[in-house]
Amino acid sequence: MSLQVYINGKFYAKEDAKVSVYDHGLLYGDGVFEGIRCYSGNVFRLKEHLERLYESARAIMLQIPISPEKLAEDVYETLRRNQFTDAYIRLVVTRGAGSLGLDPNKTSDPQVIIITDKIALYPAEYYDKGLELITASTIRNHPAALSPRIKSLNYLNNIMAKLEGLQAGCVEALMLNHKGEVAECTGDNIFIVRKGRLVTPPIDAGILEGVTRNAVIELAEAAGIGCDQTALTRHDIFIADECFLTGTAAEVIPVVKLDKRPIGAGVVGPITTQLIAAFKKLVHKA
């Protein structure tokens, strides 16, 4: 059976799911999206993801034509039609079709799209042995140019850094902000462990406030592990005891090297291991 894709309230076979070539989401990356996970039939933190989607849309003056409550129902219906209990969900809202010019006022009919599928971002061995990162020369977009809190369809900034990582033999790359501070990786937030506490860059470092990031902070605090949100440099990562990344697709994944330099003992650390287990328990609980 072909996967069913939701577009504006209707379902289409995957191969028939299409938008106009005049859609400004295609022409200019003018739109917003969310990546979400479903575990054992429960969509993980759907409310938080929808809040961020609608906030991103408001920030770019894009009116989503249905309510968050209806969109939540449609997410579950898409999962049901595709017979998924464990899946990756991609919500996309485009500006809609318009002219070949930039003017968003000449567009109409924003496209609301729900895709459900399987995803395996990294091989299992990376969760056991840890990732190696390089520092990309491509920095995060300046927050005065484009707010990093908008999860927009224009991901070229991240893609350019991702290409640098791949060319260096790494599946992820660390991105710095315009001040030379640690921001995030191309698709994940970053944490270090130092003297038994977590440290992660604050929102004003030019990062996306990740839903998984927030969940891990909550899990750490519940386990008596404090978390500081403060500016970091590469120096802080080099001298860290442990390091890991968080993201919807990646979940919690260890990092053991940055720029060929071992972090801590160069192996997955105990606090990282503890939080990986706690996160798995959280997402799979009834």
Q: How far apart are CA 185 and CA 165, in angstroms?
A: 10
**Domain endpoint, select from 117, 133, 153:** 117
**Domain endpoint, select from 117, 134, 158:** 117
Q: How far apart are CA 32 and CA 154, in angstroms?
A: 8
pLDDT value, residue 120: 80
Instruction: Say yes or no: 34 and 158 in one domain.
Output: no
Instruction: Say yes or no: 211 and 246 in one domain.
Output: yes
Q: How far apart are CA 105 and CA 89, in angstroms?
A: 29
Instruction: Say yes or no: 83 and 141 in one domain.
Output: no
Instruction: Say yes or no: 111 and 141 in one domain.
Output: no
Instruction: Say yes or no: 138 and 258 in one domain.
Output: yes
Q: Is there a contact between 195 and 247 (Cβ–Cβ < 8 Å)?
A: no
Q: Which residues contact 270 (CB under 8 A, 6 or more apart)?
A: 242
DSSP state of 111: -
Q: How far apart are CA 63 and CA 218, in angstroms?
A: 32
For 105, counting Cβ atoms within 10 Å of its Cβ (0-12 exposed, 13-18 middle, 19+ buried), the class is exposed
Instruction: Say yes or no: 171 and 136 in one domain.
Output: yes
Q: 37: domain CATH number?
A: 3.30.470.10
pLDDT value, residue 154: 95
Instruction: Say yes or no: 185 and 55 in one domain.
Output: no
For 245, counting Cβ atoms within 10 Å of its Cβ (0-12 exposed, 13-18 middle, 19+ buried), the class is buried
Instruction: Say yes or no: 162 and 235 in one domain.
Output: yes
pLDDT value, residue 77: 98
Instruction: Say yes or no: 184 and 98 in one domain.
Output: no
State the residue range of the domain holding 99. Answer: 4-117
Structural domain count of the chain:
2
Q: How far apart are CA 20 and CA 27, in angstroms?
A: 10
Q: 196: domain CATH number?
A: 3.20.10.10
Instruction: Say yes or no: 191 and 259 in one domain.
Output: yes
Instruction: Say yes or no: 44 and 67 in one domain.
Output: yes
Residues labelled catalytic: 151
**Domain endpoint, select from 80, 102, 117:** 117
- Show pLDDT as tens, one digit a residue, over the chain (286 residues): 789 999 999 999 999 999 999 999 999 999 999 999 999 999 999 999 999 999 999 999 999 999 999 999 999 999 999 999 999 999 999 999 999 999 999 999 999 999 999 988 788 899 999 999 999 999 999 999 999 999 999 999 999 999 999 999 999 999 999 999 999 999 999 999 999 999 999 999 999 999 999 999 999 999 999 999 999 999 999 999 999 999 999 999 999 999 999 999 999 999 999 999 999 999 987 4
Residue 116, classed as helix, strand or coil, is strand
DSSP state of 76: H
Instruction: Say yes or no: 107 and 167 in one domain.
Output: no
